[in-house]
Structure 1
């Protein structure tokens, strides 16, 4: 039920009354009934264009810093950093800054699924940003070696803004849809209803992916400290050649699952994990890493190149083959996912 009342922050507003007992998102506050078009072009105005402006502005700053320091990796720092900024600006920041609503008032209006969404994005992006920055510090300020070949072009920096930084900003805009559009767009959602069990599954998928990323980075660092001359094949690296990218894809897949389970998923938001997966598998991510390893090991470490070639024959790049069902690390990672789902379900029942 909607009631007109006096806004304590200075203006009249519409207050929607609903029962928070099931922890569902407030019905139809941000989404219209299903009689509305499922493909509302209004999302370009209220979500996509503001996101493009935000990501492009941040990319321009990253480009300026990168050009000044001759470090292309500034765009990599922006990948998680800009998406965290966009998520929090869309959900909280713009209402505080532009509408004058107190921070506590904004946070209080966030539903439980929305808080789960923001928590997930912040955990994913914060961990990745820390990983990238700390790795850069360990290199002593040197750029990521993956970009050495590109920078041999004397005109690289003259074209990098339009050819590298801005295209990634546009891609980030699409990937961020599941955690920006729900806070910005008043449009129709896919029919689904409220499903607490499916919410727990979404948290389980997130936990599986997050565990893959954390374990992959930790095990790789441990291996490189003692056996830098060989490929890491232990732990989750025995499942696929790029478990960190698989984990990233699962994390982003969990967001639309959570939205659907909370009766909040608009069709266009599905593009987020699809775009992220395509980028990780076919453009950057796994494909770029494979190309870099092929070239770098062939020039710098022939023995490691031989080891890499054997590893490439034995393991898939992205998705585990059927034989990995017998790999203990498959079940360890899935165990983290189950644990995450169980904890989420228990907390949901308690509060």
Structure 2
């Protein structure tokens, strides 16, 4: 892909996100003269572009995941600070901060240990393609936060209700699955005896990507909590977990990891048996 084409895609993605933000904005606050949701969407992109510049000049992806996590924190805290949300909004704010703090530190430490992130090997030398990766991260931040931002910046929902309780329970389940799966894989890789092997223990015996399943579940929990605050176009807030599902299944998650695993262990009888018996995403008890 040419740099000019990649830049055009980045521009189109940004404009589409801003259009969506305008469509679902229901708050009365303004930031620098802009309605609050479009301003927050633009901020999510702007942070990525600022970090992109030194990252491209130094040809490093070390700060990609960290920048994404910090952007989540900046956007959600600014939204909460401007809007003074109700109890539901503050709980959602706390959940997002807990998630991005945990995931950001985990991913940053992983990249620092390994020295690089293989996803960026082919795109770092090309400014347009590298910029597109950072732009898509801005889209990721805004889209996954969409339901949360609708609650936090909009009128107060009708108190703490069954939707809030159900959504919180779903979020806790998803967060627990993601944390446990990441820790199991980190412990597996830390064991020298497992060098060159693939993990198939713990939650990884139930799903080939249980951490991604947990990610999708926790954002579904946020959308459930946000449901009473949605009206009209704001029902598009449910695009949040759907976007996460699409991104992990079709773009930057499962397809890349599955291809890498097939290149590494394809033809290995144990790997082929594991792949045939274990679901890609949705967990299922291991076959005896």
Query: What residue in structure 2 maps to residue 345 of structure 1?
Result: none
Partner of 2:91: 116
Q: Is the counterpart of residue 315 in structure 1 residue 283 in structure 2?
A: no
- Alignment partner, residue 144 of structure 1: 117
CA deviation map 1:234-284 (0-9, x unaligned): 111111011111111111001121122xx3233121111111111111111
For the aligned residue pairs, the C-alpha RMSD in angstroms reads 2.9
* Contact 1:211 1:247 survives alignment (8 Å): yes
Question: For 1:196-345, what aligned pairs fall within 5 Å after superposition?
Answer: 196-226=161-191, 227-260=194-227, 263-265=228-230, 266-295=234-263, 297=264, 307-321=270-284, 324=285
Partner of 1:23: none
Of structures 1 and 2, the larger Rg is shown by: 1
Per-residue deviation at 1:42?
Answer: 6.2
Aligned with 1:132 (options 103, 107, 110): 107
Show structure 1 runs of 5+ residues with no match: 1-38, 96-105, 328-351
Q: Is the 8 Å Cα contact of residues 175 and 214 (structure 2) preserved in structure 1?
A: yes
1:185 deviates by 4.1
Q: Distance in 2 between matches of 1:119 and 1:195?
A: 15
Partners of 2:173 and 2:126 lie apart in 1 by 38
Alignment of 1:87-102 (within 5 A): 87-92=76-81, 95=82
Partner of residue 346, structure 1: none
Distance 1:185 1:110, change over 3 A: closer
Residue correspondence of structure 1 range 121-200 to structure 2 within 5 A = 121-139=96-114, 142-151=115-124, 155-161=125-131, 163-185=132-154, 196-200=161-165
* Counterpart Cα distance in 2 of 1:77 and 1:306: 38
What is the aligned partner in structure 2 of residue 52 from structure 1? 41
Give the paired residue count: 256
Does the Cα contact within 8 Å between 2:48 and 2:68 map onto a contact in 1? no
TM-score, normalized by length of structure 1?
Answer: 0.65
**Whole-angstrom distance in 1 between the partners of 2:160 and 2:89:** 15
d(CA) in 2 for partners of 1:196, 1:42: 23
Q: Distance in 2 between matches of 1:214 and 1:61?
A: 30
Q: Is the 8 A contact 1:47 1:180 kept in 2?
A: no
Once residues 50 and 165 of structure 2 are traced to their aligned partners in structure 1, the CA distance between those partners, rounded to angstroms, is 39
Alignment correspondent of 1:41: 23
Answer yes or no: is the 8 Å Cα contact 2:22–2:37 preserved in 1.
no
Do the aligned partners of 1:46 and 1:185 also contact (CA within 8 Å) in 2?
no
Tell me if structure 1 keeps the 8 A contact 2:40–2:75: yes
Contact 2:174–2:215, Cα closer than 8 Å, also in 1: yes
